[in-house]
Amino acid sequence: MMGWLPVALLAVPLTGAILLLLAPHALRHVIRTYGVVVSGVTFALSVLLAATFDHGAAARMQFEVDRPWIPGLGLRFHLGVDGISLPLVVLTALLTFLCFVYLCWRGGRSPDQLMGDKPRELVFTLLVLEVGMVGTFLALDLLLFFVFFEIVLIPMYFLIGTWGGKGRRAASIKFILYTLLGSVVMLLGLLIIWAQTGTLDIEALSASHGAGMSRSVQILAFVAIGVGLAVKTPMWPVHTWLPDAHTEAPTVGSVLLAGVLLKMGTYGFARIAIPVLPEGAIAVAPWLGAFAVVGIVYGALACLAQRDLKRLIAYSSIGHMGFVLLGFATLTPVGVNGALFANVAHGLITGLLFFLAGAIKVRYPGSDMPSMGGGLLATMPRLGSVLTFASIASLGLPGLAGFWGEMLALYGAFQPADVLPRGLFLTYMVIGGLGAVLTAAYFVLMLSRVTHGRPRAEQPRDESAPADDRLVRAAPDERPVVPLRSPHSVRALLGPPPSRAELTADIQGHELVAWTPLVVLILLFGLWPGLLLSLTTPPVLTLLGALP
């Protein structure tokens, strides 16, 4: 009935991008409004999608479109939305829209905003990226899913490689090679499924719960698909592209990378790997859980050692994604629900955190924490407050969005599916819980370095090492040593001194507009988790139907 809606969600950003390619000069003067309007219309469509979605039947695919595209390949243009994909579609449209708002608000001339370098190309890249991201969550055909999964690679490569920081070239090439290797292996897994069952339709495949595939084929396909998804997620030990990509990416790139791109990997587990290959999932789940908890602990420990704010948030993503994977590995409705919840919550919270890191990077050249010197709450109280809020949301304070997902994932590990070894998963739960404590530790430590303490500029010389700063100084420093006695030379080393107004400016208009919705949603989902869980529970129960 409303089949045009998913198509429109893809067509609007795509048309926007193509128009930009065809008539670059006509749109030059309205480029800021243009980006905001196109992504705004997409977001409005996604809100319309959520509003007209039949919440009573969240397990059913709705708004379906099913047209043959390449009959020779059995590839159909099959789109649809259910309770699992709906939140992610809205999240994608929202984050893209907020990125455009952030880039374009009020002239867009701040250093982190649109008008700095090649604005048209940036708008084009982001719109193509949006097509790929939304399409991945809408696709109901294995190959179509793969096509959309791949679409994001090139725009992200250019986003990092063109608008990124100093090491952008290496980071962008590492990103694209790593993720392509993963997705080619995933393609092989998808083709194994196709060769065995003769269909590419995700709905039909998940309804048949792996019928027609022997156990060994399922395991093989699950491993192949899992590798591809794990690279994107990223799962330890194939995560190494992520910190570099995040550190070098521009703010909006980091936000979309953490907020949406990582979700494509985890979404693949919920949409394809687990429902289509249930026996493979049972066989591989203990391994998946093991990698997940290693990721949780590894991410937390790596965070403790970071000096760079963006790198710290990147490693924290690895930890959070570990919780998501642990939730999937339990193969229980509770665990999978928790994973899907943590997925969305991580998108909101880490999106906000990367926005904040970008804002701090503008104010303090380099996001190196020790050289910032702390005292953010004193110099920029609002920015400091939002950073504190986002950090405690990320460490999983009850009442905020970050809590429920991780709690449910751990609870799922407490009582995993009957076919899984319970003792092993109890161990995972304990290790995961330990990781949660470590997560709290590094966020508190980060806050103590950045927001607390006295601001460096007003710091008397002999009190240059307050007690809460000690760990920072203990961290290995590879830079040439700057004499601590002359705070001015620190600035000189780090680049041209920013103007007084710029340094002291608290949250600015574009930042406020972009961040407020995220803050509101984090609070909303934290206080009312049922809003999201009621959407995901019915489809999860259906998808897990085949499991004993």
By CB under 8 A, residue 187 contacts another protein: yes
By CB under 8 A, residue 159 contacts another protein: no
The binder of another protein chosen from 44, 47, 73, 527 (CB under 8 A): 73
By CB under 8 A, residue 129 contacts another protein: no
The binder of another protein chosen from 43, 63, 97, 194 (CB under 8 A): 194
* Cβ(104)–Cβ(123) below 8 Å: no
- Retrieve residue 530's tokens: 């049922």
CB-side exposure of 351: number of CA atoms within 13 Å?
32
One-letter amino acid at 390 equals A
- Retrieve residue 238's tokens: 């194939």
- Retrieve residue 144's tokens: 């179509």
By CB under 8 A, residue 7 contacts another protein: no
By CB under 8 A, residue 427 contacts another protein: no
* Cβ(366)–Cβ(340) below 8 Å: no
Residues within window 229-288 making contact with another protein, judged by CB under 8 A:
none
Residues within window 337-356 making contact with another protein, judged by CB under 8 A:
none
Please state, in angstroms and rounded to a whole number, the distance separating the CA atoms of residues 34 and 103: 12
Closest distance to another protein from the beta carbon of 147 (Å): 6
Which residue in the block uniquely carries the two structure tokens 């507009």? 513
The binder of another protein chosen from 10, 89, 133, 176 (CB under 8 A): 176
Closest distance to another protein from the beta carbon of 67 (Å): 12
User: Per-residue DSSP letters for 239-272?
Assistant: -THHHHHHHHS-HHHHHHIIIIIHHHHHHHIIII
Closest distance to another protein from the beta carbon of 534 (Å): 35
- Retrieve residue 302's tokens: 């790596």
Q: Of 312, 326, 546, which Cα lies nearest the Cα of 448?
A: 312
In terms of residues, how long is the chain? 548
Segment interacting with another protein, rule: CB under 8 A, options 192-200, 250-258, 311-319, 361-369? 192-200
Segment interacting with another protein, rule: CB under 8 A, options 154-162, 369-377, 382-390, 400-408? 154-162
* Cβ(62)–Cβ(82) below 8 Å: yes
The binder of another protein chosen from 28, 169, 422, 473 (CB under 8 A): 169
Segment interacting with another protein, rule: CB under 8 A, options 169-177, 302-310, 328-336, 428-436? 169-177
Closest distance to another protein from the beta carbon of 434 (Å): 36
Environment class of residue 512 by beta-carbon count within 10 Å: exposed (0-12), middle (13-18) or buried (19+)? middle
The binder of another protein chosen from 26, 70, 457, 527 (CB under 8 A): 70
Closest distance to another protein from the beta carbon of 536 (Å): 29
The binder of another protein chosen from 41, 48, 116, 162 (CB under 8 A): 162
One-letter amino acid at 286 equals P
One-letter amino acid at 345 equals A
- Retrieve residue 230's tokens: 């794990």
The binder of another protein chosen from 2, 15, 64, 121 (CB under 8 A): 121
* Cβ(326)–Cβ(289) below 8 Å: yes
Query: 212: helix, coil or strand?
Result: coil
Please state, in angstroms and rounded to a whole number, the distance separating the CA atoms of residues 432 and 324: 11
The binder of another protein chosen from 34, 43, 158, 241 (CB under 8 A): 158
By CB under 8 A, residue 23 contacts another protein: no
Segment interacting with another protein, rule: CB under 8 A, options 146-154, 301-309, 401-409, 428-436? 146-154
By CB under 8 A, residue 526 contacts another protein: no
Please state, in angstroms and rounded to a whole number, the distance separating the CA atoms of residues 140 and 449: 46
* Cβ(209)–Cβ(203) below 8 Å: no
Closest distance to another protein from the beta carbon of 129 (Å): 11
Environment class of residue 530 by beta-carbon count within 10 Å: exposed (0-12), middle (13-18) or buried (19+)? exposed
By CB under 8 A, residue 72 contacts another protein: yes
By CB under 8 A, residue 95 contacts another protein: no
Asked whether the CA dihedral 30, 32, 33, 35 is positive or negative, the reply is: positive
By CB under 8 A, residue 150 contacts another protein: yes
The binder of another protein chosen from 128, 334, 543, 547 (CB under 8 A): 128
Question: How much of the chain is helix, strand and coil, in % rounded to 5?
Answer: 75, 5, 20
By CB under 8 A, residue 157 contacts another protein: yes
Q: Which is nearer to another protein, 16 or 384 (CB)?
A: 16
The binder of another protein chosen from 2, 8, 27, 184 (CB under 8 A): 184
By CB under 8 A, residue 192 contacts another protein: yes
What is the per-residue binding string for another protein in 497-516, x denoting contact by CB under 8 A? --------------------
Segment interacting with another protein, rule: CB under 8 A, options 66-74, 243-251, 437-445, 486-494? 66-74
Q: Which is nearer to another protein, 200 or 309 (CB)?
A: 200
By CB under 8 A, residue 172 contacts another protein: yes
Please state, in angstroms and rounded to a whole number, the distance separating the CA atoms of residues 222 and 467: 50
By CB under 8 A, residue 333 contacts another protein: no
CA 506 to each of CA 190, 292, 500: distance values in angstroms, whole numbers, following the listed order? 49, 38, 12
The binder of another protein chosen from 90, 143, 313, 420 (CB under 8 A): 143
By CB under 8 A, residue 145 contacts another protein: no
By CB under 8 A, residue 171 contacts another protein: no
Question: Could you say which DSSP state residue 190 is in?
Answer: H
* Cβ(84)–Cβ(539) below 8 Å: yes
Environment class of residue 294 by beta-carbon count within 10 Å: exposed (0-12), middle (13-18) or buried (19+)? middle
Please state, in angstroms and rounded to a whole number, the distance separating the CA atoms of residues 46 and 524: 19
**Residues found near another protein in the complex (CB under 8 A):** 21, 24, 69-73, 121, 128, 132, 143, 147-148, 150-151, 153-154, 157-158, 161-162, 169, 172-173, 176-177, 180-181, 184-185, 187-188, 191-192, 194-195
